[in-house]
Amino acid sequence: MIIKAIVRLVIYAGAIILIAKFVPGIAITSFYTALLVAVLWALMGLTLRPILLVLTLPINFLTMGLFTFILNALLFWLVALIAPGFEVSGFIPALQGSVLLTLVGWVLHAVL
C-alpha cells in the first residue's frame, strides 16, 4: 500500500514536470520541487478540496458541476503560491494544469 502511494506520487511528479514543459505559464525548477507539489496537491485534495466543494455546492449545482474546474484551478494556483520553485503565471495556465493533472489522476486511479 505504501509502495502504491509512492508510485502515485512519483507519477504525479513526472506529470507535473511534463505539464510545466508543455503548458506556457507554468514553470518548475526540479524533480524534488515536483515531488513537493505532488504531495501538496494530494494534501489539498484530501483536506481543503472536500470542504470547498461542500461550501460551493449551490454554485456547483447551478453550473452543473463546471465550477469544480474553477475550484481545482484555484487550488493548483494555491499550491504554486505555497511551493517554492513552482510558478503559475495566471488563471488560464492554472486551469490547464489542473485539468491535465486531474486527467492523470483519473488514469492513475483506473490503472492502479
Residue 1's pLDDT is 83
Summarize pLDDT for 26-66 with one digit per residue, the tens. 999 999 999 999 999 999 999 999 999 999 999 999 999 99
pLDDT at 80 over 90: yes
Q: Where are the domains of the chain?
A: 2-111
Q: What single-letter amino acid sits at 36?
A: L
Summarize pLDDT for 1-23 with one digit per residue, the tens. 899 999 999 999 999 999 999 99
Cell of 66: 463546471
Q: How far apart are CA 110 and CA 61, in angstroms?
A: 26
| Cβ neighbours around 76 below 10 Å, total | 29
Mean pLDDT of the chain: 94
Pair 60, 53: CB distance under 8 Å:
yes
